[in-house]
Amino acid sequence: MITETAPMTQIDPDLLKESFIKASLHLERNHKILNNLNVFPVPDGDTGSNMSSSLKAAVSGLEKANPLTLPDIARIFCEELNRNSRGNSGFILARFFAGFFDASAENDAISMKDLREGFSQGSFLVNTSLFSPTEGTMITIIAAMTEYMSSVDVADVRELFSGALECARTALENTPNDLPVLARAGVIDSGALGFIVLFDGFLSALTGTEPQVEIEADYRFPPQTGDDTDGGDDVSFRFCTELLVRLDKEIPGGDLREYLKARGNSIALVAEDDLLKLHIHTNNPGELEEYLSAYGEIEKTKIEDMQDQVNLFNKKADATDNAVLVCIPGDGFAEIFQNLGAEYSISYDEKLPSAHELCEKVGEIDNDHIIIITNNKNIIPAAIMARDECDKAVSILPTENVSRGIAGMYGFSENDTIAENAQNMHDCLEFVKSFSVFESSMNTRFGDEDISKGDFFSIADGKILSVAKTRSKVILESFAKYDLTGMGNISLFKGKKFDDSCLAEVKEYLHQINDTLEIEELYGGQNREELIVSLE
């Protein structure tokens, strides 16, 4: 509780810059903890590193330019954050602050009203920008802070942030209930914690205090055991729906939120005078239109089927001057994709490519239309941002792994139109199955499985297939999960650290089951996965 006589009613430009600096330092101080809170014990340098490097670049831009006004701070901060955002977490930060500053960028300082509207605008833009927003992640924390800010009447900025962060930590504790895979891993969502850490640092500049370093053990708990009922990334609500309503009568706020929660998720609301902007994932967009039309005129409607990934392709359906830019997890994949017709590649390791780096690579290609194959779900947001910023026409094949990227290339032809490539490449994704083998970097437990440091384990579609002390046992047990009698080809993409002495035993096992199988060993050169296996 703030006890000073004079309340802090606004954040001036100098204090805002100081707050961002403290936020960046606090995020950097805790980024390893965020990295360690992975669902699986793989050292991927993911969430914490991506959030920290994204914010640090934006803050460095402020320190270098030293802008004196709020409009200049907003412009430089958002430009640098957009250019340097990495992964889902960096993308969400970029979208959030772009929306946040829409409410105040032309003002002399950020007022209490600006803060409330900024969080609402930021939450809305995050939900409308993500390809598939997921509850139990950073968007849940943003929504919790937004709802708190809009529901309380306090006169001090510090008190508003303090209460919002307390509400955010309550929501953080519930993320494993929103996202079952977290419950089985025994962790909270690291991106959600990262957003809280950022604003803990931000608030420390307002209060003149030092925030405490987080303790990793505080965010671990006994994993949930039993059958894995987590549906992974399955779409429970099919239609991404955005409505703009010109209101002519008031909607009871509580009634509207309860109505929407019963009919969808990923809900974001922005009220501006008599305009209501709504984003929601639902199965019945028509029902929402009918409900809201009773309170005013619906001026704009946007409904997208989230099961249709082809909509990430450019609409210039008659263009044929196509080239493919593929994101690869190891240098060996460059030649593999070149042989399939993808001449251009950008390699990534723990550090995922930013939107700016993708734009630069696109700019080096002479073709008018570029298809980006992501091969990692955490690169999809940066690819979407690059598509929106590049001068050239860019389409995206949002593959979650390199096996699906290779399968997609079977449908590509440089002589086909964009529309034809979109459909053909998308159709080919269904013909491949894949699993990956890792070496555990720590002692942990996932559901019923104890995993020790140095153990080998395999993952397919976000679920563990096998855990064992040897590579060969994990690989054999993983293959046993599939019906190999109907398979024709198996590709083994070897990582930098993979010891292939076990493959003779693996091949013998496979040919005993299906002697017509074609088995191909290829060097991928990836760091994270010991082995990537593609089954067709």
**CATH number of the domain bearing residue 496:** 3.30.1180
Residue 338, classified by CB atoms within 10 Å of its CB into exposed (0-12), middle (13-18) or buried (19+), is middle
Residues 29 and 150 in one domain: yes
Please check whether residue 380 lies inside any domain of the structure: yes
Count CA atoms within 13 Å of residue 388 on its CB side.
Answer: 11
Does residue 259 sit in the same domain as residue 179?
Answer: no
Contact 197, 212 (CB under 8 A): no
**Closest-CA residue to 319 (of 412, 393, 423):** 393
Count Cβ atoms below 10 Å from residue 66 Cβ, excluding itself. Answer: 10
Is the per-residue pLDDT at 309 higher than 90? no
Q: What average pLDDT does this structure show over 184-207?
A: 94
Could you give the CA distance from residue 391 to residue 388 in angstroms, rounded to a whole number?
8
Convert the pLDDT of each residue in 17-43 to its tens digit: 999 999 999 999 999 999 888 776 565
**C-alpha span between 258 and 284 (Å, rounded):** 16
Nearest to 362 by CA among 324, 331, 336, 399: 324
Considering the domain architecture, whether residues 301 and 357 belong to the same structural domain is answered as no
DSSP string, 92-135: HHHHHHHHHHHTTTTSSSEEHHHHHHHHHHHHHHHHHHSSS--T
pLDDT at 377 (0 to 100): 85
- Classify residue 339 as exposed, middle or buried by CB count within 10 Å of its CB (0-12, 13-18, 19+): exposed
- Using the 3D structure, point to which of 219, 248, 274 is the last residue of a domain: 219
Residues 182 and 276 in one domain: no
CA dist., res. 86 & res. 536, Å (int): 32
What pLDDT score was predicted for residue 229?
47
335 and 409 part of one domain = yes
- Name all contacts of 503-507 with Cβ < 8 Å and 24+ positions apart: 505/472, 505/476, 506/472, 506/475, 506/476, 506/479
Residue 5 lies in a domain: no
Half-sphere exposure at residue 195, Cβ-oriented, CA atoms within 13 angstroms: 36
pLDDT at 420: 86
Closest CA relative to residue 59, chosen from 27, 36, 101, 102 = 27
Please tell me the predicted confidence (pLDDT) of residue 315.
59
Residue 255 placed within a domain: yes
Q: What is the Cα–Cα distance from 11 to 74, expressed in whole angstroms?
A: 13
| 316 and 356 both lie in a single domain | yes
24 lies in the same domain as 173: yes
- Asked if the structure places residue 388 within a domain, the reply is yes
- Do 117 and 178 belong to one domain? yes
Q: Tell me what pLDDT residue 181 has.
A: 83
> Residue 418 falls within a domain, yes or no?
yes
The chain-wide mean pLDDT, for the chain, equals 88
In a domain, 154, yes or no: yes
Cα–Cα distance measured from residue 131 to residue 126, given in angstroms and rounded to the nearest whole number:
10
pLDDT digits (tens, 9 = 90+) for 442-464: 888 777 788 899 999 999 987 88
How far is Cα 404 from Cα 399, in angstroms, rounded to an integer?
6
Question: How many domains are there within the chain?
Answer: 4
Tokens for 202? 């931000």
The two structure tokens encoding residue 74: 């907003």
CATH code for the domain of 246: 3.30.70.3100
The domain spanning residue 392 has which CATH number?
A: 3.40.50.510
Report which DSSP code applies to 91: H
Question: For residue range 119-140, what is the model confidence (pLDDT) as tens digits?
Answer: 999 998 888 777 666 778 899 9
Which of 185, 219, 253 is the last residue in one of the domains? 219
Residue 440, domain extent: 433-535
343 residue type, one letter: E
Listed in sequence order, the residues at least 6 apart from 441 whose beta carbon sits closer than 8 Å to its beta carbon are: 41, 42, 43, 453
Q: Which of 291, 306, 321 is the last residue of a domain?
A: 306
- To which residue do tokens 């894995």 refer? 228
Residues 59 and 187 in one domain: yes
Tokens read off for 143 = 């929504």
Q: Look at residue 491 in the predicted model and tell me its pLDDT.
A: 96
**CATH number assigned to the domain comprising residue 108:** 1.25.40.340
Verify that 296 and 385 share a domain, yes or no: no
Please say whether the beta carbons of 353 and 375 come within 8 A: no
The pLDDT tens digits for 369-427 are 899 999 998 888 888 888 888 888 888 999 999 999 999 999 999 888 888 888 899 88
3-state SS of 165-197 is HHHHHHHHHCHHHHCHHHHHHCECCHHHHHHHH
Q: Is residue 4 assigned to a domain?
A: no
Predicted confidence band of residue 319 (pLDDT cuts 50, 70, 90): low
* pLDDT for the residue numbered 43: 52
Q: Is residue 58 part of a domain?
A: yes
CA distance 509 to 505: 6
What phi and psi, each to the nearest 5 degrees, are found at residue 305? -80, 110
AA letter at 306: M
Q: Cα(378)–Cα(348) distance, rounded to whole angstroms?
A: 12
pLDDT given at position 106: 84
Q: Do 441 and 422 share a domain, yes or no?
A: no
For the chain, state the CA radius of gyration: 24
Q: Which of 106, 45, 47, 42 is nearest to 72 (CA)?
A: 106
CA atoms within 13 A on the CB side of 85: 27
Task: Say if residue 164 is in the same domain as residue 198.
Answer: yes
Q: What is the pTM of this model?
A: 0.79
Distance CA 360, CA 234 (A): 33
pLDDT for the residue 230: 45
Quote the CA–CA distance of 265 and 236 in Å, as a whole number: 9
For the CA atoms of 348, 332, 460, 498, the dihedral, rounded to the nearest 10 degrees, stands at -110
Provide long-range contacts, Cβ within 8 A and 24+ apart, for 112-118. 112/9, 112/10, 112/154, 112/155, 112/157, 112/160, 114/10, 115/11, 115/149, 115/157, 115/160, 116/149, 116/150, 117/270, 117/272
Question: Is the pLDDT at 248 greater than 80, yes or no?
Answer: yes
Task: For residues 88-103, give the mean pLDDT.
Answer: 90
Exposure b/e, 500-535, CB count within 10 A at least 16 = b: eebbeebeeebeeebeebeeeebbbbbbbbbbbbbb
For the segment 54-61, the average pLDDT, to the nearest whole number, is: 95
Confidence band of 1 (pLDDT split at 50, 70, 90): very low
Mean pLDDT to the nearest integer, 244-251: 86
